Structure 1
Amino acid sequence: MTGRKWTGALLALSLAAAAATGCGSDDSSSSDSAAAKTTSGAATQAAAPAADALGTPKKASGDPIVLGLLNLESGPVTFPEYRQAAEVAVKYINDYKGGIGGRPVELASCATDGQPATSGRCANQIADKKPTAILGGADTGAPGAFPVYKRKDLAYMGGIPFTPVESNAPNAIQFYSVSVGDNAATVQYATKELGVKKAAVLYTDDTQGKATGLGVIVPAFKAAGAEVKGIAVPPSAADLSSAAAAAISTSPDAVYVNTPGACPAVLKALKAVGYSGKIMGIDPCTSPPALKAAGDAAEGLYFAQPFQSVDSGTDDANLMLAAIKKYGSDDIALDSIAQAGFSSVMNVQAELDDVSDLSTKNILAAFKDGQAHKSFLAHDYTCDGKQLAGNTAVCNTYQLIKQVKSGKVTTVDENWVTGADLYKPQS
């Protein structure tokens, strides 16, 4: 389905796939510029710019550099667009950037199902191919693979850090922060720019909902000096009016919606009980299906994303669209997940292109130099282990604040926002 995004993906952590699938491999072939103020829905296909956005061809040759990739593609929640976008980016760098160091890049992929055991089996299969390193993917079962990466001494670069394992592994480089970084940035913007002094947080009453709602959002509001109340929403609740009524009972300046599987219903419930104040939320609340289901109840919702929008008109966005047009298929969902796949490949190529000896030590050193590095479609990243408390592998917490206006997503502030100072890991 289209529109799967950061926090919606985290819901998969509490879902069990019916059965482990086999791991078939598929060997396939930044910027500081401000985002444009108005963009369309992230998962909507945008018109591709002219082919000259790709630049001058520079074909790679010689023995390939193999990068392993584990990606969640079986079960109740899947992210094929991450792999699809990464494959497009690999084809692009092989044809236009000389691959890495003049050598072509080859992805060795394995489909996972969200279960750590399956990811562990996939990691062993990929390790048998003797990859140079691992390209991080969108895999909620990734903790099962990291013991293999440690044993094989493999660096892990990019991807989406759905769990604390990816965010803290000494052999990992994470270009973005999700679940923590986006929510903390939204709270920062709400309190500093929108003047929110009292908030209510509606969160799904399950393991992940509590981890994000009570572990990130509520404490961030408190750290920002705001009064805040958390309201649990039962995962299977049919009537959400009582939760909505509880949220507005203290007359909050803003209501924050952290219910990945029930965003439209919660937003409609808030409107039904007469709430007309500010609303904040998470990325999955703004997917095209969610916006269609919520209708005008989603109007005005603020949220954060780590990327410039694909139709923002920046050089990076135009390049990605041109590459998708040249190498991709029409069914790639151009959402945040796809942007992460494309961006991760571009960042890896940029930093490793002039590293002559691609040992794990040298690969990690290229990123972990404590210096600011350009990030494709995103804010600069610095891998010094100090960007986010309790997340030593995370190199960047900056986000762009976006809002739903007339049923579409718009970038409302061209300045990158971070709420890293509002977050402290729960003891």
Structure 2
Amino acid sequence: MRRPDRRKVSAVLAAGLLLTATACGSDAEESESKGDLPQGEELKIGFFNPKAGPLTQPGATVGAFAAEDYINYELGGIHGRPVKLVECATDHSAETARSCANKFVEEKVVTVLDGYNYKSSSAHEILAAAKIPMVGAIPFDLASGNTADNNVYFSATTTDFLTGSIQAFAKDGAKSLTLVAADTESGRGLIEGFAKNIGKAAGVEVNGLYISEQNFNIDSAAATIKETNPDVAGMMAVQNPNQCTQLVQGLRQNGYEGTILTAACTEYIKQAPTESEGSALYSSHWLATAKDFAPDEKKTEIEAAEKAINAEVKENGGVADYYAYGQFAATVTLANALEAGSADALTGEGILTTLKALKDFDSFLGPKITCDGNPMYAACSNEILVFEVDGDGRTEPLGGGWTDVDRTITDKLLIAAAQAAAKG
């Protein structure tokens, strides 16, 4: 179902509420609390919305539209122009990525938000030809993350999260790590080709535990992990957040007392609060559960994001998870960066130039970013947060804050992989 234009809906509701103000005064006050839209020309921004197919991320939808409201009603738009998200549902296939790219060209958007799309690179040629840059948080598609000419990602690369997590665990004293992955070429490649080499450099023995993609038996994996008893065990990538809850509960019920790595999952903390203590997750941004440990300026940003995201969930449903905060942060960072640039640069070419010129720019909920760095990556940062969950459900960063990822090993591995692929 196409998402309704909430500006038009709000206007109709507001008119109706004026006629029933006595009976519904509190509702009228809530409707009016958003204020007025900026009066400038509408600024269209495309959004690859990962809400179709088997791998949906409803939190990304929440974060994007919460950010649209926040930018328009709290920040006053971008140079006085209201933002209008033009969404297109993606199912992580190349076909839908290209179809959405063509829609964005037809709609004349000025830039496109990559909502954690595994096949966003399939849209690259179409968007680049139309001079429409693609912007996002984490490049879930490695090809997009390694294509810097028309893409900008405010967070670290996918491999940075693997490297940074291992480095953070090593500094925390871990000597062994078991990673659960689907028994596929990509699953084995991630661990055998990357994780083991990264672990060796950090002084951590990394082992892979591979299970059938068709029968992803987490209970069996939990029993095996308990027998080998590594310092850290878990998953670097998760297709379904429920897998995190199952893994945490399975490991704790089997008596495993080590650290459980849950990728970027957050919902399991609510679903399994007792078992989640001592688990860990990686993140591109500060989370609401980490507010007690965040710097003062980030606490203020967390509170603003919390308010906007919770309002969106209340109005339209969805979840306030990792992806909600990540998409919100990326969208607001884009708005802040464009607001800091020239009002005359709100075209595709101008936006790409503005973003590529960012240096030590304070991203929303994230670190300072520089987007003209390593030409191997579209990512503007090599910093991540690795959180450990405490008994109160709070997430405290290992090392007290950001982990600065050493890319020395992964750069060599990526170059070697590219050379091998070129040789066939």
- Give secondary structure in 1 for the equivalent of 2:107: coil
Distance in 1 of aligned mates of 2:218 and 2:58? 32
* Correspondent of 1:186 among 128, 153, 165: 165
Q: TM-score, normalised by structure 2?
A: 0.77
Distance 1:200 1:158, change over 3 A: closer
Distance in 1 of aligned mates of 2:68 and 2:351? 18
1:397 has 2:382 as partner = yes
Alignment match, 1:109: 87
Alpha-carbon shift at residue 420 of structure 1 (Å) = 3.7
- Give secondary structure in 2 for the equivalent of 1:408: coil
Distance in 2 of aligned mates of 1:267 and 1:218? 23
Superposed, 1:138-217 pairs within 5 Å as 138-169=116-147, 170-177=149-156, 179-192=158-171, 194-217=172-195
Alignment match, 1:125: 103
Alpha-carbon shift at residue 274 of structure 1 (Å) = 4.9
Alpha-carbon shift at residue 384 of structure 1 (Å) = 2.4
* Correspondent of 1:218 among 190, 196, 199: 196
Q: For residue 151 of structure 1, what is the amino acid of its counterpart?
A: A
Superposed, 1:303-314 pairs within 5 Å as 303-311=281-289, 312=291, 314=299
Q: For residue 83 of structure 1, what is the amino acid of its counterpart?
A: T
Q: TM-score, normalised by structure 1?
A: 0.77
* Correspondent of 2:257 among 254, 276, 301: 276
Distance in 1 of aligned mates of 2:253 and 2:328? 40
- Give secondary structure in 2 for the equivalent of 1:283: coil
Check the 8 A contact 2:263/2:281 in 1, yes or no.
yes
Distance in 1 of aligned mates of 2:244 and 2:67? 32
Distance 1:77 1:200, change over 3 A: closer
Alignment match, 2:24: none
Alpha-carbon shift at residue 167 of structure 1 (Å) = 0.7
Superposed, 1:14-413 pairs within 5 Å as 60-169=38-147, 170-177=149-156, 179-192=158-171, 194-237=172-215, 243-244=221-222, 247=225, 252-258=230-236, 260=238, 262-267=243-248, 270-271=251-252, 274-284=255-265, 286-288=266-268, 292=271, 296-311=274-289, 312=291, 314-324=299-309, 329-330=314-315, 331-353=317-339, 354-355=341-342, 356-369=344-357, 371-386=359-374, 390=376, 392-406=377-391, 408-413=393-398
Alpha-carbon shift at residue 252 of structure 1 (Å) = 3.4
Higher alpha-carbon deviation: 168-177 or 356-365: 356-365
Q: For residue 264 of structure 2, what is the amino acid of its counterpart?
A: D
Q: For residue 199 of structure 1, what is the amino acid of its counterpart?
A: L
Distance in 2 of aligned mates of 1:310 and 1:24? 30
RMSD: 3.2
Distance in 2 of aligned mates of 1:300 and 1:177? 25
Distance in 1 of aligned mates of 2:303 and 2:348? 32
Q: For residue 187 of structure 1, what is the amino acid of its counterpart?
A: I
Higher percent of residues as helix? 2
Alpha-carbon shift at residue 268 of structure 1 (Å) = 5.0
Distance 1:328 1:243, change over 3 A: closer
Distance 1:402 1:264, change over 3 A: same
- Give secondary structure in 1 for the equivalent of 2:388: strand
Q: For residue 277 of structure 1, what is the amino acid of its counterpart?
A: G
Alpha-carbon shift at residue 141 of structure 1 (Å) = 3.1
Q: Which structure 2 residue ranges, 5 or more long, are not aligned?
A: 8-28, 293-298, 418-424
- Give secondary structure in 2 for the equivalent of 1:252: coil
Q: For residue 387 of structure 2, what is the amino acid of its counterpart?
A: K
Alignment match, 1:17: none
Alpha-carbon shift at residue 340 of structure 1 (Å) = 2.0
Distance in 1 of aligned mates of 2:155 and 2:348? 21
Q: For residue 329 of structure 1, what is the amino acid of its counterpart?
A: K
Distance 1:191 1:399, change over 3 A: same
